[in-house]
Amino acid sequence: MSLRVPTEQSFSSPLHHPRVATVIGRWLGVAVAVCFLTGLFSHLQQSGPGWLFIPTRPASLYRVTQGLHVLSGTMAVPLLLAKLWTVYPKLFARPPWPPSRKAAGMIVERLSILVLVSALALELFTGFLNTLQWYPWPFPFRQTHYALAWIIVGALLVHLAIKFPLITSHWRGTAADREASQGTGLSRRSMFRAVAGAGALVGIASVGQSAPVLGSIAVLAPRKPGIGPQGLPVNRTARDAGVTAVDADWRLTVRGPKQLEYSLDELRALPQNRSALPIACVEGWSQGARWEGVRIRDLLALCGAPMSSRVRVISMEQDGFYTTSELPPQFAADPLTLLALRLNGSDLDLDHGFPARIIAPNRPGVLQTKWVHRLEVLP
Ligand SMILES: Nc1nc2c(c(=O)[nH]1)N[C@H]1C(S)=C(S)[C@@H](COP(=O)(O)O)O[C@H]1N2
Ligand SMILES: [Mo]
């Protein structure tokens, strides 16, 4: 038996045709673009650069963008696999010999594809594991995820530029394309249906984590709507956060022009307001809930601070990524932003941040700080 290294021509299926790569590439391109833009929005919200004004409306904006982020990333996985299958015979194409400008171009192209594919595969894989709240690696997830996103965008632009002539000539199916697709085996149309079907299937199996109507079939969703204390999922329990029962000498401190201190009963005696707002976790799950508590703007007024103040929120949790957060002025002043004491009609469960937590519109879950015991008005 002789072993022969295959050449590009050894793969005769018409499904390796550039027209197939173009069609699947378009779908993957849409998924990557949606994922990138929504991810950028999430990153900017969390890093909060001073120059950026984030509106507080629509109140559910972040819920939608982050739901789309996780959905498009998840759906990109089968699309990427299909795209790779379509083009892998190219791996066996021999560079022209002797070395020429064409060969050099081919090497640059190969390198850009190597970077693109490895960065995208790593991004999608670690991103998906992150939705499962599994961090089996030593590097900081968010920074790495963000850096990889830019590498992907850069490599993708190079890839699109190199392939531009091929993409434009196969953007529409031509008679020659259809001719080339005649063959035995799976038809091109069946392949497109199968790939689109696989994308739709993983989408439907995960979208229920942010669209409760589909919650019951969300087998890929680690968090199911409605499941958790007070009918709301918990991201980090009090126990994991090292927060134990809160006793009677608990006080909320508000530090502004005046320094104020409130016991829980005193907070309950202040004017109470209601907000219907979602928790929208960066990991993709989200759910609306009914909150009740004291408006942050009322606390600003009570401590003599101007309405346009930035507020730092400090948790009783000692160490962890989310022990503090900041409310930019438009968030602190928004009438929907509460120091919530109640959820869905009863006192907060300890896991949801008892005795007091932040809830604000259009805000990533990571910034909805639980177990708040101190507010500081920033100069
Ligand atoms: N102090 C503190 N607040 C926190 C967290 C935390 O780990 N510590 N987790 C945040 C995250 S990631 C989310 S999604 C929401 C979830 O709120 P819930 O557990 O009440 O649903 O709380 C946020 N507030
Ligand atoms: Mo979260």
SS3 231: helix
Q: What percent of the chain has pLDDT over 90?
A: 79
Report all structural domains of the chain as residue ranges with CATH numbers, in order of start: 8-217 (no CATH), 230-378 (3.90.420.10)
- Strand locations in the chain, DSSP E? 252-255, 259-262, 273-280, 286-295, 310-315, 324-327, 338-343, 346-347, 357-359, 372-378
Closest protein CA for atom 12 of ligand 1? 366
Closest protein CA for atom 18 of ligand 1? 234
Between these two residues, 308 and 279, which has the higher pLDDT value? 279
Q: What digits encode the pLDDT tens for the residues 66-87?
A: 999 999 999 999 999 999 999 9
pTM of the model: 0.95
pLDDT band of 57, cuts 50, 70, 90: very high
Contact (CB, 8 A) for 320 and 241: yes
Q: What digits encode the pLDDT tens for the residues 155-206?
A: 999 999 999 999 999 999 888 877 877 777 889 999 999 999 999 999 999 9
Closest C-alpha to 351, from 224, 197, 235: 235
Q: Round to whole Å and give the CA distance between 243 and 356.
A: 13
* Ligand approaching nearest to the C-alpha of 320: 1
Burial of 296 (0-12, 13-18, 19+ CB in 10 A): buried
Could you tell me if the CB of 369 is within 6 A of ligand 1?
yes
Q: How far is the CA of 366 from the centre of ligand 1 (A)?
A: 6
In this structure, which residues have their CB less than 5 angstroms from ion ligand 2? 235, 281, 365-366
Q: Round to whole Å and give the CA distance between 150 and 37.
A: 11
Residue 209 C-beta-side C-alpha neighbours within 13 Å? 25
SS3 175: helix
324-327 β-sheet, strand order: 259-262, 252-255, 372-378, 310-315, 324-327
Q: Over range 302-312, report the average pLDDT.
A: 97
Q: How many residues does the chain have?
A: 379
> Does the pLDDT value for residue 95 go beyond 80?
no
Q: Round to whole Å and give the CA distance between 274 and 342.
A: 9
* Ligand approaching nearest to the C-alpha of 278: 1
* Ligand approaching nearest to the C-alpha of 283: 2
Q: Over range 214-242, report the average pLDDT.
A: 92
Could you tell me if the CB of 320 is within 6 A of ligand 1?
yes
Closest protein CA for atom 19 of ligand 1? 234
Top mean-pLDDT range of 105-109, 127-131, 240-244, 335-339:
335-339
